[in-house]
Structure 1
């Protein structure tokens, strides 16, 4: 039985007057035709209760489907997520047995310069201890810096730090330390650590606490005023094909302005901070991860493997291009995660295949997975373009905030929208849209709604009168205590 049939037989306009049990002409027409009396007020109340219970049950069923089964939907997809073999989310970007050289003869106001080869297997910047500031990526203006990445570290001369009761030398000035990290048998470093405020001389390596012998040491109490530092990373001019860039800089604002990365590509990028914003424009990489907390993340990105962006209590604004190929082994994926702040993203899905018309009938012209989730805020997601005959699996969730999802004209597949009773799930269709393949097909949109808050349907392009094939893409959208809007552009 369809969901619409659950409401059959429930009337809201029964007469209140007492009805006779005979079949005289005084009875209403619908009673004479039905051959029975209308329900009593008690029966009407029970019917309303049953209807409310059905609505609640459908809501719980929908949320179970979207939240529980939605997380496992990728398992049902014939692709599996490509393993993040280079991800540094849970492991340090180096082995314990590394060559570390430290400079401790540093005072506030000093400025130091270091060099890292562009051929290094990784480029790592990290900080440790009570130090914060900003890191800027810039581009060299001359040709002399070919093959070398310059790193300049400037410590702010803040005399108020001399009075700190913690972590300093005999004169009260906080200890500063900058260390270079490299492989044992290699003379050139690939990493630089900026450290401050160590309370004992046993910290000779300026590495995260887990790397010290004997296990982690307790963190010292934070100072009232951390050391301020400004790091400038200068990339050489001309085209660059770099390996893995990693910044583990707590409370450092990470800034890559538009134009700085023109002609630069990476194998992998991880930008991580806390309580500080990240802006990364023009970032091109096989994979990339950006993470912060209590601060926004924004930028433009092009990846052909995976992009992950996560923060909390601050918005995410991303313009993303995902690149795939014909019949890929793994989909190209985008994962946006936030909380208590909105997510806004514009996504372009592209494939390296030159022509849709030269595809084999059963070929998949690119595969993509897009997931976006936040809470207590809105979701605004636009798919600007999608390759014809490609697979898109998309999930967009929030709570106590509206969702807006706009799909490209090339989308073909199923969609599902869910919210709580009393709210709306709406699908808008651009009726004037022409066939993106240029073949003159018509877009067929089928949808059904359950009480306005649950909507499911499908989209396909087909020749008039011909049997339509089923699109392979799938979209799920959900919120609570607010509305959903899906736009088929």
Structure 2
């Protein structure tokens, strides 16, 4: 199939129900698109742009990904799902999670994967009391993961051999204004059968919900470092 590059500029006034793009060997850039469900399936195509959806899926191969995804929670209570993946190329994603209710909650699931290249994910906004379950995976390359200080839940960082893990607690301010709560982040690291494993938990204290109702972060790579800001 012939190569075709796609550069889309859609006015903000257009909002779609379902959007699907498929192409081989041609790059895609979208200035902005808003839809309930966005599906992008490519071969050997770089992907970039700004996407807003309640369901977002992106899959390409052998080409970089650099996207900003804004997602709102579903009224049904089922998780809003964001998946993005490539192979043999860097993946960089910025995720903005929004709540459609005045209670500032939400249920979100994010999966980001690549191979043999760095993975850089930044969750710049998370609603207070939301549940975020995120999995980030690469091989033979570092992972950089940053979550907004509203995140509450467990985190697990796993690498092998010479790789290391670092955790930085970058916020102690009270994101839930007026509540009087303070930030608590605790973790420990151990070498387990050739793996470097760091496990921890981040929450606001006093907590408003049990740990099983909170979120989770899992990062895995091989032979390289994982840096996590929480």
1:275 aligned partner: 25
Task: Say whether residues 1:317 and 2:60 are aligned partners.
Answer: no
Give the deviation of 1:468 after TM superposition: 7.9
1:330 aligned partner: 78
Q: Tell me the matched-pair count.
A: 225
Indicate if the aligned counterparts of 1:254 and 1:279 stay in contact, CA closer than 8 A. Answer: yes
Task: Say whether residues 1:253 and 2:2 are aligned partners.
Answer: no
Give the deviation of 1:346 after TM superposition: 0.5
Name the CA distance, whole Å, in 1 between partners of 2:99 and 2:153.
18
1:74-223 map, 5 Å: 132=2
1:139 aligned partner: none
Q: Which of 372, 382, 395 pairs up with 2:122?
A: 382
Indicate if the aligned counterparts of 1:295 and 1:311 stay in contact, CA closer than 8 A. Answer: yes
1:28 aligned partner: none
Indicate if the aligned counterparts of 1:401 and 1:481 stay in contact, CA closer than 8 A. Answer: yes
Task: Say whether residues 1:395 and 2:135 are aligned partners.
Answer: yes
Give the deviation of 1:437 after TM superposition: 0.5
Name the CA distance, whole Å, in 2 between partners of 1:436 and 1:269.
35
Q: Which of 213, 219, 223 pairs up with 1:477?
A: 219
Give the deviation of 1:292 after TM superposition: 1.8
Q: Aligned Cα RMSD in Å? A: 1.8
Q: Which runs of 5+ in 1 are unaligned?
A: 1-129, 133-250, 357-364
Larger radius of gyration: 1
Give the deviation of 1:425 after TM superposition: 1.2
Task: Say whether residues 1:487 and 2:229 are aligned partners.
Answer: yes
Task: Say whether residues 1:292 and 2:36 are aligned partners.
Answer: no
Name the CA distance, whole Å, in 2 between partners of 1:377 and 1:394.
19
Give the deviation of 1:390 after TM superposition: 0.9
Give the deviation of 1:467 after TM superposition: 9.3
Give the deviation of 1:411 after TM superposition: 0.4
1:340 aligned partner: 88
Q: Which of 205, 208, 212 pairs up with 1:462?
A: 205
Q: Higher relative CO (CA 8 A, sep ≥ 6), structure 1 or 2?
A: 2
1:73 aligned partner: none
1:232-243 map, 5 Å: none
Deviation track 1:242-271 (CA, whole Å, cap 9, x = no partner) reads xxxxxxxxx3222203xx332001110111
Deviation track 1:285-320 (CA, whole Å, cap 9, x = no partner) reads 01011122222011101101x111111111001100
1:369 aligned partner: 109
Name the CA distance, whole Å, in 2 between partners of 1:285 and 1:468.
32
- Give the secondary-structure state (helix, strand or coil) at the position aligned to 1:419: strand
Indicate if the aligned counterparts of 2:116 and 2:140 stay in contact, CA closer than 8 A. Answer: yes
Give the deviation of 1:325 after TM superposition: 4.3
Any runs of at least 4 consecutive aligned residues in structure 1 with deviations exceeding 6 A, and if so which?
A: none
Indicate if the aligned counterparts of 1:434 and 1:440 stay in contact, CA closer than 8 A. Answer: no
Give the deviation of 1:404 after TM superposition: 0.4
Name the CA distance, whole Å, in 2 between partners of 1:392 and 1:467.
16
1:221 aligned partner: none
Task: Say whether residues 1:421 and 2:169 are aligned partners.
Answer: no
> Is the strand fraction higher in 1 or 2?
2
Name the CA distance, whole Å, in 2 between partners of 1:254 and 1:310.
16
Q: Flag the 1:454–1:298 CA change in 2: closer, same or farther, 3 A.
A: same
Q: Which of 137, 147, 160 pairs up with 1:407?
A: 147
Indicate if the aligned counterparts of 2:167 and 2:229 stay in contact, CA closer than 8 A. Answer: yes
Indicate if the aligned counterparts of 2:146 and 2:229 stay in contact, CA closer than 8 A. Answer: yes
- Give the secondary-structure state (helix, strand or coil) at the position aligned to 1:273: strand
1:435 aligned partner: 174
Per the normalisation by structure 1, the TM-score is 0.44
> Is the helix fraction higher in 1 or 2?
1
Per the normalisation by structure 2, the TM-score is 0.92
Q: Flag the 1:354–1:486 CA change in 2: closer, same or farther, 3 A.
A: same
Deviation track 1:428-450 (CA, whole Å, cap 9, x = no partner) reads 1115x311101221111121100
Name the CA distance, whole Å, in 2 between partners of 1:295 and 1:468.
43
- Give the secondary-structure state (helix, strand or coil) at the position aligned to 2:43: coil
